[in-house]
């Protein structure tokens, strides 16, 4: 039998931007007896997790849960609301926006893909102007990635909603929150989003395997006339049985146990506190990067991600070789650069179940890795992060006193 891995002392630091570390509490919940998904106990569980996810999405609208990855949630959003040859407006904010666009094309949709440099978020004014020019309302949906996992760049969804409203255009708004939900503030109802897409393996602190759609009344109405083929992803079948806590086909029972526990953890900490924690860790990481003299990929401070930071490696050096060095010496995984950014950046995930000491250990591994790899940098990044974390902790205590 081929061993899956060799032993290394201490725990593995999984600091990619997802899947994230799964808390012991969640692992223990998943390690529960599998129950009858048609029995009364499961109905209680189903109702609880569906209600809990509404709180995380900040919505009173319907939420559906699929046994799938976030890619499935993308497809569900498109096939439930659109028809063949419908025109969809998307923006090239990064690798995952590009993959969603590719999916839309494969499904028989026409996609207008606004070019981007992967270092900025969505230009809401550009979207508004394009919609205003669409006098015949050929564009049926605008699809946006809230937090681009490949780049560490966020887009302002509230501003995007305002631009759509100002244009007077009826297009649906669909938003990918796969790497932001549960780690960054998100407001499905307040921001007027029609379909929100999410996955389990990032801010929700679960393994991969659950996908989510939050669905507005407008999107639900669109699903009545949408003509793209759908069966597994059909909202109608899900929503017909979900009020009783059940699903139209076999759900991921034990992952739902884990989701219930993860939701309990998020609510016990308080969502607002969760978001502040992630902001602090993002800022601490950025201060470390600046102290090292390295470049943050995201160029606009207003668009910095609280979930991850993408770091540009100096010319002549390999980000992938650096990541291999860090893994070999310190048993820590960092995110790789994807497609256009391959071998040019590494990504530090600072989302999910982590605290100050986890983050400081992560940054220490990065700083030691930079030294071993011979990548030009200044020392003191970890100290800069620690200074900020201690100062912000003291400030919080002072405010609370």
pLDDT for the residue 6? 66
Cα-to-chain-centroid distance, residue 379: 31
Region 343-364: what's the mean pLDDT?
98
Please write the tens of the pLDDT for every residue from 178-187. 999 999 999 9
Residue 252 has pLDDT above 70, yes or no: yes
Region 307-327: what's the mean pLDDT?
98
Fold of 24-267: 3.40.640
Residues linked to residue 180 through DSSP beta bridges, in sequence order: none
Angstrom distances, CA of residue 380 to CA of 42, 53, 129, 364, 387: 52, 41, 45, 10, 10
pLDDT for the residue 4? 61
Name the residue with tokens 């902790």.
Answer: 393
Please write the tens of the pLDDT for every residue from 49-100. 999 999 999 999 999 999 999 999 999 999 999 999 999 999 999 999 999 9
Region 275-281: what's the mean pLDDT?
98
Residue 347 marked in a binding site: yes
Share of the chain above pLDDT 70, in %: 96
Region 150-175: what's the mean pLDDT?
98
Tokens of 259: 């989701």
Please write the tens of the pLDDT for every residue from 92-122. 999 999 999 999 999 999 999 999 999 999 9
Residue 331 has pLDDT above 60, yes or no: yes
Q: Which residue has the higher pLDDT, 3 or 218?
A: 218
Fold of 13-19+270-400: 3.90.1150
Q: How confident is the model at residue 393 (pLDDT cuts 50, 70, 90)?
A: confident
Question: Considering only 4-13, 95-104, 197-206, which range has the smallest mean pLDDT?
Answer: 4-13
pLDDT for the residue 394? 67
Domain positions in the chain? 13-19+270-400, 24-267
* Total number of residues shown for the chain: 401
Q: How confident is the model at residue 2 (pLDDT cuts 50, 70, 90)?
A: low
Tokens of 100: 């969603």
Tokens of 118: 């992967």
- Residues 267-286 as b/e (b if ≥16 CB within 10 A, e otherwise) read eeeeeeebbebbbbbbbbbb
Average pLDDT, the chain: 96
């Amino acid at each position: 039998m081929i061993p899956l891995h060799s032993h290394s002392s201490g725990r593995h630091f999984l600091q990619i931007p997802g899947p994230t570390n799964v808390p012991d509490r969640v692992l223990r919940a998943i390690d529960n007896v599998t129950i009858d998904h048609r029995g009364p106990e499961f109905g209680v569980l189903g109702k609880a997790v569906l209600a809990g996810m509404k709180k995380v999405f900040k919505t009173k609208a319907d939420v559906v849960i699929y046994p799938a990855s976030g890619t499935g949630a993308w497809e569900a959003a498109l096939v439930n609301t659109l028809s063949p040859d419908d025109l969809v407006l998307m923006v090239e904010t990064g690798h995952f926006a590009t993959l969603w666009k590719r999916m839309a094309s494969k499904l028989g949709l026409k996609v207008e893909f606004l070019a981007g440099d992967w270092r900025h978020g969505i230009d809401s004014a550009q979207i508004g102007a394009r919609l205003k020019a669409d006098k015949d309302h050929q564009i049926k949906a605008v699809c946006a990635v809230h937090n681009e996992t490949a780049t560490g760049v966020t887009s302002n969804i509230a501003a995007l909603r305002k631009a759509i409203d100002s244009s007077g255009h009826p297009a649906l708004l669909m938003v990918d929150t796969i790497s932001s939900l549960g780690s960054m503030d998100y407001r499905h109802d307040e921001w007027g989003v029609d379909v929100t897409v999410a996955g389990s393996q990032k801010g929700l602190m679960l393994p991969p395997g659950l996908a989510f759609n939050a669905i507005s009344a407008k999107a639900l109405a669109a699903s009545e006339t949408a003509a793209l083929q759908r069966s597994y992803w059909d909202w109608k079948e899900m929503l017909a049985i979900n009020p009783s806590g059940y699903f139209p086909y076999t759900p991921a029972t034990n992952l739902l146990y884990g989701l219930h526990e993860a939701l309990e953890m998020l609510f016990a900490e308080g969502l607002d506190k969760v978001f502040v924690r992630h902001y602090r860790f993002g800022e601490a990481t950025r201060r470390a990067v600046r102290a090292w003299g390295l470049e943050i990929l995201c160029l606009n401070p207003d668009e910095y991600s609280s979930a991850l930071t993408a770091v540009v490696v100096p010319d002549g050096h390999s980000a992938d070789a650096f990541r291999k060095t860090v893994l070999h010496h310190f048993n820590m995984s960092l995110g790789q650069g994807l497609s256009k950014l391959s071998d040019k950046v590494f990504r530090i995930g600072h989302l999910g179940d982590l605290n100050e000491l986890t983050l400081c250990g992560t940054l220490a591994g990065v700083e030691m890795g930079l030294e071993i790899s011979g990548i030009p940098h200044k020392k003191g990044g970890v100290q800069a992060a620690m200074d900020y974390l201690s100062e912000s902790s003291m400030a919080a205590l002072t405010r609370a006193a």
